[in-house]
Structure 1
């Protein structure tokens, strides 16, 4: 099977798990799909350039993490979303589908301070990933800032984060008169890197217009790129950004490409499932 073709959002090496989560969130979550066989996953990931060994390892790893539930039908292994995975993907989908995902009220900021022992590197990594998705940038060690009002309880929902609530303090804040907010934001975020991500996304997916076929791979790549952009751009207030900031163009383009690709990809997935059922 061939990998992604030039122009189909090719900008970075995407990990198989990123692709799998984009596929599950776009086409499987809240659909009438039964648990998918290993063959279906190998077909989808293979068409995205993922080797069979890496695809199988990703399925096994996501099963161990409690994201997928594995069942056996004779010689066929099938995988379905666990309740925890469904909850996580639905939470992400709210922001993915937002018409204005990069917009927050000007003047409101959430400050978060926490301390975690260096010995808990595994948890520290998970915390940082959660904070980045929630729009936080690091001002200095242990102090994070995010635009708007962030629900900290939702950020740290889950048993694995239970100990964080005892070592974290959060405040809703507003800058005092004389504070150079623009300079402060550049300490917490690389503004030019965020712009570059938007420009790369726009260049890649504008070139996707007019293409036909490869619906599932293209929709999956679109989803993976969009999730990466949402992790990168916290949605800083427009008053502190250049007037030609590209975020609105990215949001409009994502919705346009998704609306075109999703019906075709869903139909293609139904055909793939019918073909797979015939091989039982």
Structure 2
């Protein structure tokens, strides 16, 4: 997978795949905005500003089309792309947590346990199921047994025609720990707690200097969204009472919301100007 180093005004050692950048852009600025299919020129311009080579950008658009995330049409010699219904559903599903003022908070003491087995005939879907489980907040306790803080909608994990029949192979339980359970030890078994903290601290270190930056609102918002999605994938929202003092999730959440509010209006305006200029080239 092609990855891109930070191309923002404040370079930092964070690496993102072009598809991550496009998901951030599409979820933040395109979803439910009523735009017509967007030409490849606009995508290439955006990804080029983010340091993605044209060949890698075109390959990413083609790959997302093959996966069923983008629908491709032609207008003369120009390729245009729009979100498929499935991609729209995925982005809408993620949006409440992306926009939440408290994305790492769950009801105290509640957990979701999930046990499932993948038949040999469906092993090709293992990576996709694993990605969905991680996004939903699950960590692996042992083979086939996963745990997540709070109450997770397990049925939503197995939605989609490609997962037909897999929900029947999963058993889920809402539960509370037995008295005397060493919950901090359990957390360290299921998650790399140090890596979760480091992800928050990296986000804070990267985006605090953005307050003093100027220009490039579209690329900065795209980078911001990609970084925040990575934080959300990494941290399932572990209970604060079982975490070290000074846990940084509240600080990173406040910083994301502040920077998004500051950048979004100008980024939306920049995108509209790009689309208008591109329409003039027809």
Separation (CA, whole Å) in 2 of partners of 1:5 and 1:216:
10
Separation (CA, whole Å) in 2 of partners of 1:3 and 1:147:
32
- C-alpha distance 28-231 of structure 1, shift in aligned 2 (>3 A): same
Separation (CA, whole Å) in 2 of partners of 1:118 and 1:212:
53
Structure 1 match to 2:156 = 154
The structural deviation recorded for 1:6 is 5.5
Structure 2 match to 1:63 = 65
1:107 to 109, 120, 140: 109
Counterparts of 1:242-257 in structure 2, within 5 Å, are 242-257=244-259
Separation (CA, whole Å) in 1 of partners of 2:177 and 2:8:
47
Separation (CA, whole Å) in 2 of partners of 1:3 and 1:203:
13
Question: Deviation digits for residues 29-87 of structure 1, max 9, x if unmatched?
Answer: 11132211010000001111111111111111111111111111111111111111111
Q: Determine whether 1:227 maps to 2:220.
A: no
Describe the SS at the equivalent of 2:262: helix
The answer to which structure, 1 or 2, has the higher relative contact order (CA under 8 A, 6+ apart) is 1
For the Cα contact (< 8 Å) 2:6–2:15, is it kept in 1?
Answer: no
- C-alpha distance 204-118 of structure 1, shift in aligned 2 (>3 A): farther
Counterparts of 1:156-195 in structure 2, within 5 Å, are 156-195=158-197
Structure 2 match to 1:124 = 126
Separation (CA, whole Å) in 2 of partners of 1:51 and 1:133:
29
1:7 to 10, 13, 19: 10
Question: Deviation digits for residues 74-132 of structure 1, max 9, x if unmatched?
Answer: 11111111111111101111110011000011111000001114664421111110000
26-35 or 117-126: which moved more? Answer: 117-126
Describe the SS at the equivalent of 2:104: coil
Describe the SS at the equivalent of 2:134: helix
Counterparts of 1:18-57 in structure 2, within 5 Å, are 18-57=20-59
The structural deviation recorded for 1:5 is 3.7
Q: TM-score, normalised by structure 1?
A: 0.96
Describe the SS at the equivalent of 1:131: helix
Aligned residues: 278
Separation (CA, whole Å) in 1 of partners of 2:243 and 2:178:
19
Separation (CA, whole Å) in 2 of partners of 1:118 and 1:192:
34
- C-alpha distance 219-143 of structure 1, shift in aligned 2 (>3 A): same
- C-alpha distance 233-3 of structure 1, shift in aligned 2 (>3 A): closer
- Superposed CA RMSD in Å reads 1.4
What are the ranges of 5 or more consecutive residues in structure 2 without an aligned counterpart? none
Separation (CA, whole Å) in 1 of partners of 2:153 and 2:6:
39
For the Cα contact (< 8 Å) 2:6–2:13, is it kept in 1?
Answer: no
The structural deviation recorded for 1:243 is 2.5
